[in-house]
Structure 1
Amino acid sequence: MGHHFELQKDIELAATPEEVWDAIATGPGIDSWFMGRSEVEPREGGRTRFTMAGQTEEATVTSWEPGKRFAYRSDPGPDGTFMALEYLIEGRDQGSTVLRMVQSGVLGDNWETEYEAMKVGWDMYLGTLAAYVAHFAGRSGAPVAAFRPGAGTPDQVWAAVAGAFGISGPVAEGQRARLTVDGLPPIDGVVDLAGLPTYFGVRTDDALYRFLHSGTDRGNVLVLGHHLFAADQDPARAEQAWQAWVDNLAIG
């Protein structure tokens, strides 16, 4: 039996309402901070498409007020489940913006686990949105994803990931982070998200690197969701290199 839910998050962003709108209501903008790849038909009644791991989900735009409000609702599943997402934009002084995100709908039988995963996951994605509009506004990022199911417990996974970046002891925002991935340029950046035991992020001059642990109840999956902004980027090559890296990461 389906379970109705609503989840709300507010965040203040160092960007104008117009910059925030471009980030949340256009395909290239969404690709620069959210998972997967997105397409948006820019009108009320238009369609959105979200593709990840070879699967595409579609939704209908239910509100289109540029610079103010953007909302869409997914097509219902055979069991009545659906997702609706609404963004409300409010400009503030000094060019900042408050963004309110409201997600609602109907979840399936395992709704409690799904709800908790979404609640924490949104903290990472909105943190990534804040980093995008603050450091890469006006640029489009190419999303790069990799997955390792059954990677290990959160403690095991984060010890391995942090160690690979040369970090020992507690992980904190502001720490230097360096990593070499075979076939890619060296990474030299700073920890900008430290939401352990669920997520971890590193920002460099030309990329946002994001690592997410699904939790034990969801298969101990280590998910990599990066966004590359370099002019000479090769997303397909980078995705292959990151998948090989995560497959071979020593965890345990």
Structure 2
Amino acid sequence: MRQAVGMADSGRVIDLSVEVIGDVETVWRAVATGPGISAWYVPHTVEERAGGAGVASFGPEPEMQIEGRVAVWEPPHRVIFDGGEAVEGLSFEWTVEPHDDNTCAVRLHNAGFGDDDSQYDAMVDGWKLFMSNLQLHLEYFAGQTATSALPMVMWPVTPEQGWEILAGGLGIGQMPSVGDRLDVAADDDTKMGGTVVGTGPRRISLLLDTPAPGTGFLTSEDGGGFTMVSVWLYLYGPEGAAAAERDDARWRAWLDSHAPATD
């Protein structure tokens, strides 16, 4: 993944790009439509036209439903999402550049940041994770729709401490290697397992076969003043949809039960 971070007239920007497998139409659907984005990011609805409405769901609470707009719609190469006309805030420009070998370059240009360094740094790390999931989605599940379970907690600890709690609670004694098998569980009926396809500081990425085919992530990320600890699953097919609906609350309860004690 290429990353370029710099200054523009409107402030800091995030520039990230990844190479993905797929023809331009398939990749376009993955980055510009509601079902496509939902398969590797967070649940989205998108009106597929310039000026159309969009909603990103970052959690079950009403305040976690973030409304936006399709500011530019140029299929199958360029789309821009923002908060709406005359609304200050972040914008997200996605471009898709096809190659001759059934691959494409996908670029994200994320602009509109203010002076909050913590938000900016956290979003750089977050986008790296999501764009790696985009690569996995297009390599293994292109054209399919995922149902996600995205439990996350915010703990007043360092990211390193958050990872120690998460990994220790799941019985992960040391960081596995790519290609290893990893199985973890919240309880006897709530399991997550598959092949390790990526690791990083306080992160494990999995190609799942349990509880259904899909992708999964264990992470502990700096949220600026707190740490975001996540057990995320993107599951495919009817079996995956049922498992995501069943296991979301169970993993949330497991994370809550492992929250560090506070004074």
What is the TM-score with the length of structure 1 in the denominator? 0.86
Structure 1 residue identity aligned to 2:51: G
1:33-74 deviation digits (Å, cap 9, x = unpaired): 103x21100001111111222222222212212221111211
* Alignment pair present for 1:22 and 2:29: yes
- What amino acid is aligned across from residue 222 of structure 1 in structure 2? V
Partner residue of 2:80? 71
Kept in 2: contact 1:165–1:177 (CA 8 A): no
Equivalences for 1:44-55 in 2 at 5 Å? 44-53=50-59, 54=61, 55=64
Matches within 5 A, 1:185-200: 186-197=191-202, 199-200=203-204
Q: Which moved more, 1:156-165 or 1:169-178?
A: 156-165
Q: Does 1:13 align with 2:17?
A: no
Query: CA separation in 2, counterparts of 1:169 and 1:211?
Result: 13
Q: 1:145 aligns with which of 147, 150, 155?
A: 150
Who is 2:6 aligned against?
none
- Identical pairs, percent: 25
Structure 1 residue 172: Cα displacement: 3.4
Question: Runs of 5+ in structure 2 lacking a partner?
Answer: 1-9
1:212 CA drift (Å)? 3.2
| Counterpart residue number, 1:83 | 90
The 3 A distance-change label for structure 1 pair 32 and 216 is closer
Query: Which residue type is aligned with residue 72 of structure 1?
Result: F
Cα offset for 1:245? 2.1
The correspondence for 2:225, drawn from 218, 224, 228, is 218
3-state DSSP of counterpart to 1:181:
strand
TM-score, length-normalised on structure 2?
Answer: 0.83
The one-letter amino acid of 1:200's match is I
Give the letter aligned to residue 255 of structure 2. V
1:219 Cα offset (Å): 1.2
The answer to whether residue 208 in structure 2 is matched with residue 204 in structure 1 is: yes
Structure 1 residue 178: Cα displacement:
0.8
Contact 2:119/2:224, CA 8 A, preserved across alignment: no
- Partners of 1:124 and 1:193 within 8 A in 2: no
CA offsets per residue over residues 206-228 of structure 1, 9 Å max, x none?
A: 12112332327331231333211
Q: Which residue number in structure 2 is paired with residue 179 of structure 1?
A: 184
CA distance in 1, matches of 2:156, 2:250: 18
Q: Does 1:114 align with 2:119?
A: yes
Distance 2:233 2:156 in 1: 18
1:169 paired to 2:174: yes
Aligned residues: 244
**CA deviation after TM superposition for structure 1 residue 11, in Å:** 0.6
Return 229-238 or 19-28, whichever deviates more. 229-238
CA-atom RMSD, angstroms? 2.4
Offset at 1:192?
2.0
Alignment gaps of 5+ in structure 1: none
User: Structure 1's 24 and 251: CA in aligned 2 closer, same or farther, altered over 3 A?
Assistant: same
Partner Cα separation in structure 2 for residue 174 and residue 161 of structure 1? 21
Per-residue deviation, residues 173-193 of structure 1 (Å, max 9, x unmatched): 322211123364643312223
**1:133 is aligned to 2:138:** yes
